[in-house]
Amino acid sequence: MKLKIKIIALALSVTALISPKKESRQNISFEPVPVKNLNNAGISTVYGDKKGYVITDLTYQGKSNPFITDLVLSFNYPPEALRRDDIRRYRITYAGYIFAGDKGSLGEGCGKFFKKEHRVEIESSPNLWLGTCGDLGSFTLEFMFKPMSDKSGGEIFSRTGFLSGKKRGIEISLIDGRIHASLHDMFEKPDGTRTGIILKKGARLHVNKWHHFALTFDRISGKLVKFIDNEEEEAIYMSGSGKPFDGVFTPLFGNRGPNGEFSCIDAPASFIGRNYSGMIDEFRISYKKIEDLKNETDVATEKYRRLETIDRIPVNIEGVVTSPVYSFPGTGTKIRSFRWKEVIKKDTFIWMEMRIYDQLFYENDTDQRWYIIKNNQDNIFLKKDGKGEYIRGKYYQWRAHLVASPDGKQSPRLYDVSLEFVEDPPPGIPMFLEAASSGDRFVELTWKKNVEHDIRGYKIYYGVMPGKFDGVLSLAKGKRIDNSTTQGNFIKIRIDNALIDENRALDIRNLLTYPLLKNNVLYYFSVTSYDSYKPDTPDNHESELSKSVSARPFFGSEID
């Protein structure tokens, strides 16, 4: 996509002798994104003659939006009336429970389970979450429940099959007064093997008291969490290292074939309340982690607290606008501010997220984390990620969420999305390089220190042919060659064979020969400077080579 770029100002001046980094702020105004990047959103005239984005379907019925709820059972009906779930997606093949009113339940009532035949059986329909063969993505499974005695047990929910040769699927059980969330053989590791997990920590639950349970998985970070009454009881990262974003496991009900395709060995029915003694209400499965659901329901919380208030799911419908992956000229680029203009109708809002990395990624990649940002947020580049690194990079993407009013009548309007960035050029070329002296198998070099605020060090390139370098020297006695190496305004460093051997040991791939200094041989030297952005990586910023100087080690006179 084309970007409109305008240079705003130069923040740093250039001195007569040294050229520190020039901080040129530039502004980007984004053209409309491709139609394929719009999900339940369209491009329309939104303000005056301005084109922008609006939600295209406000009815809560659109099935193209992947962010809506998958299944809802409010238990507001007697079992004989339960033929489909509340949003009429899943078929109920059997329903047996006592339709009961109870203080603490929501709506018309709840389901009471205590007999052997009590349960709700749900058909795992293809193309819906419970019938999915492939990647399940982020999800949240939640419900309200009230155990009737401290001996209460059984399955509050289960979706498990055995045709793969192992028990596979989800079970939410009440065992000895505690909730166990078992995900059997449900996660695929990067090497194709499978694993499962049981979350069973937490305090014993109070009987004859309503509790809220949620099991939520974030497909991007790999975080799997069990909540009781909105308190995090147990969490684990389903990833190779047990850390966020690092080789996150894929949640699957199905199998992956030899060519990488997904298939369903079986699609077992799902059960609610089987062999359970207690009450269940407001059962829901959503395609999002719980933090995102809370974010979306902020507007609706006060007026639309209950599911039956509007007879729809209590998640405001979204339109999602996802940009392509854009690129800056270089690595480590700093986003100073991100802004957009909006027309906010009553009870609507817009929230935005972005991501930026030095390595190329693709529009639908899930390994790179998204960060929620505010309108007109400044100095984004000063924030740090989970690894302690500044949020900067070369490749970036943004995503806007347009959230409708809870009554499904109003859409916000988004237009003029833009950002301001600052390139991070390399430091200036080191100046006044000289071969100050030479002696028995050594050469002494000097050059003027760079003055950039983020200067990290220098590299000395040397060889026996002009313009061809056979070694790179960046350390001296275990420390970087930097402005602290010598006092005063000039670097002074003695290059001898001990220093060459020290640096050759760093070249584990043996890419260079690192010739030793010999007397009477002419050697050529140049110096570069580099900054503090990710030193010792390809993303670091290094200057061009300085002018070349030559020097010849020589034993000297034997006559005093």
What backbone phi and psi angles, to 5 degrees, belong to 100? -130, 145
Strand (E) or helix (H) holding 503: helix 497-504
Two tokens, residue 438: 């030479």
Dist. CA 446–CA 488, nearest whole Å: 12
Rounded Cα gap, residues 11 and 268, in angstroms: 64
481: pLDDT confidence band, cut at 50, 70 and 90?
very high
Identical fold between 69-295 and 431-551 = no
Query: Residues 6 or more apart from 427 whose CB is under 8 A from it?
Result: 20, 21, 450, 452, 454, 455, 529, 530, 531, 541, 543
Q: Two tokens at 70?
A: 């998958």
Query: What's the CA angle centered on 105, arms 101 and 109, to 5 degrees?
Result: 35
The average pLDDT across 409-427 equals 92
pLDDT at 418 exceeding the cut of 70: yes
Of 125 and 95, the one with more pLDDT: 95
As a whole number, mean pLDDT of residues 486-492 equals 94
| Residue pointed to by tokens 């329309």 | 44
Q: Name the token pair of 297.
A: 């329901």
Tell me the average pLDDT across 134-158.
Answer: 86
**pLDDT score for 108:** 78
C-alpha–C-alpha distance, residues 9 and 68, integer Å: 44
Tens digits of residue pLDDT in 318-371: 888 999 999 999 999 999 999 999 999 988 889 999 999 999 998 877 778 888
**Strand bridging mode 250-251 / 92-96:** unpaired
Q: Determine the length of the chain.
A: 560
Task: State the average pLDDT over residues 146-159.
Answer: 84
Q: Best-predicted range by mean pLDDT among 155-169, 342-356, 386-400, 446-460? A: 446-460
* Residue 304, pLDDT above cutoff 60: no
What are the helix (H) ranges across 276-404? 290-296, 307-310
Angle at CA 119, nearest 5°, toward 117 and 120?
140
For range 183-187, the mean pLDDT = 95
Amino acid 21: pLDDT: 52
Task: Choose between 556 and 179: higher pLDDT.
Answer: 179
CA 540/CA 558 separation, integer angstroms:
47
For residue 286, what pLDDT is reported? 84
Hey, what are 33's tokens?
């994104």
Is pLDDT of 314 > 70?
no
Q: CATH class for domain 431-551?
A: mainly beta
More confident residue, 176 or 127: 176
Residue 427 banded pLDDT, cuts 50, 70, 90: very high
**With the C-alpha atoms ordered 472, 473, 475, 480, is the resulting torsion angle positive or negative?**
negative
Residues facing 461 on adjacent strands: 472, 526
CA distances from 432 to 18, 455, 462, 491, 546 (A): 10, 17, 17, 10, 9
| Spans of all domains in the chain | 14-59+318-422, 69-295, 431-551
Please determine, for residue 295, whether its predicted confidence score (pLDDT) is greater than 60.
Answer: no
State the Cα–Cα distance between residues 212 and 383, nearest whole angstrom.
35
Distance of alpha carbon 409 from alpha carbon 316, whole angstroms: 11
Which helix (H) or strand (E) element contains residue 504?
helix 497-504
Tell me the chain's radius of gyration from C-alpha atoms.
32
Judge contact between 308 and 72, C-beta under 8 A. no
Q: What is the mean pLDDT of residues 269-287?
A: 92
C-alpha to C-alpha distance for 182 and 300, rounded to whole angstroms: 32
- What is the average per-residue pLDDT within 494-502? 95
Is the pLDDT confidence value at 372 over 50?
yes
In the numeric block, which tokens belong to residue 287? 């395609």
CB atoms within 10 A of CB 363: 13
The Cα–Cα gap between 474 and 471 comes to 10
Res 22: pLDDT: 54
From 78-92, 109-123, 163-177, 299-313, the region with the lowest mean pLDDT:
299-313
Lowest mean pLDDT among 385-399, 482-496, 529-543: 385-399
Taking the C-alpha atoms of residue 503 and residue 510, their distance in angstroms, rounded to an integer, is: 11
Burial status of residue 140 (CB atoms within 10 A of its CB: 0-12, 13-18, 19 or more): buried
CA angle 141, 322, 134 (to 5 degrees): 40
298/416 Cα distance (integer angstroms): 25
Q: Is 234 helix (H, G, I), strand (E, B) or coil?
A: strand
Pairwise CA distance, residues 404 & 57, whole Å: 9
Indicate the CATH number of 14-59+318-422 among 3.90.1210, 1.20.120, 2.60.120, 3.40.50: 2.60.120
The average pLDDT across 515-531 equals 96
Instruction: Please tell me the predicted confidence (pLDDT) of residue 299.
Output: 31
Retrieve residue 92's tokens: 């109920």
DSSP 454-478: TEEEEEEEEESBTTB--EEE-EETT
Query: What is the pLDDT, as a whole number, of residue 64?
Result: 34
Structure tokens at 289: 């982690």
The yes-or-no verdict on residue 263 having pLDDT over 90 is no
Q: Which two tokens stand for residue 370?
A: 């998204």
Whole-number pLDDT of residue 343? 94
Closest CA to 272 of 446, 129, 144, 426: 144
Mean pLDDT of 283-302: 53
* Confidence bin at 309 (pLDDT 50/70/90): very low
pLDDT of residue 396: 96
Count other Cβ atoms within 10 Å, centred on residue 517. 20
Q: Is the pTM of this model over 0.85?
A: no
State the DSSP code for 205. P
Least confident interval from 33-42, 336-345, 390-399, 537-546? 33-42
Q: Which two tokens stand for residue 164?
A: 């793969």
Q: How many CB atoms lie within 10 A of CB 88?
A: 10
| Of 463, 442, 476, 480, the residue nearest 526 (C-alpha) | 463
Residue-wise over 366-398: b if at least 16 C-beta within 10 A, else e? Answer: bebbeeebeeebeebbeeebeeeeebbbbbbbb
What's at 347, amino acid-wise? D
| CATH architecture under which domain 69-295 falls | Sandwich (2.60)
Local structure of 287: helix, strand or coil: coil
Asked if residues 451 and 502 have their Cβ atoms less than 8 Å apart, the reply is no
More confident residue, 407 or 275: 275
Q: Return the structure tokens found at 235.
A: 């969490």
Which one is predicted more confidently, 375 or 509?
Answer: 375
pLDDT band at 109 (very low <50, low <70, confident <90, very high): confident
| DSSP characters over 72-130 | EE---S-GGG-SB-TTS-SBEEEEE-EEE--BTB-TT-EEEE-STT-EEEE---TTSGG
Could you read off the pLDDT of 2-49 as tens digits, one per residue?
454 443 333 333 232 333 455 678 999 999 999 988 988 999 998 888
